[in-house]
Amino acid sequence: MVCRSYAMDFATLAKASGMFGQKKSSQSPIVAVPGFDISTAFAMPLINGAMIYAHFNKFYIEITLLGSADSAAVLTSAGEFLGVFKEKIK
């Protein structure tokens, strides 16, 4: 699996949450990431992976996971990546 990720500092929770909300309203279909509430993180399935969007505090995060047709494995990996970001951002 190939991963590309961005964690961007939006300076305030409101701005990071706003960016997350824009992505959430423009993506379809969306699915929950294991271990995270849909209001904090969601995934948009792709043929061979997923795009994952999240926000923690003032940070907005995008993760692209490619190279696997196993959607359950992709979502599990997404949850693990987000767990690391969440711990680092505290």
pLDDT of residue 46: 93
Q: Tell me the pLDDT tens digit for each residue of 24-66.
A: 988 788 999 999 999 999 999 999 999 999 999 999 999 999 9
* Residue 71, domain CATH: 3.30.310
Write the single-letter amino acid at 50.
A
pLDDT of residue 19: 95
pLDDT of residue 41: 96
Q: How far is CA 77 from CA 30, 40, 49, in A?
A: 16, 16, 10
Q: Tell me the pLDDT tens digit for each residue of 66-90.
A: 999 899 999 999 999 999 999 988 7
The tally of domains found in the chain comes to 1
pTM, to two decimals: 0.92
- The edge-to-edge listing of strands for the beta sheet with 49-56 is 2-9, 59-66, 49-56, 41-46
Q: What range defines the domain where residue 73 resides? A: 2-89
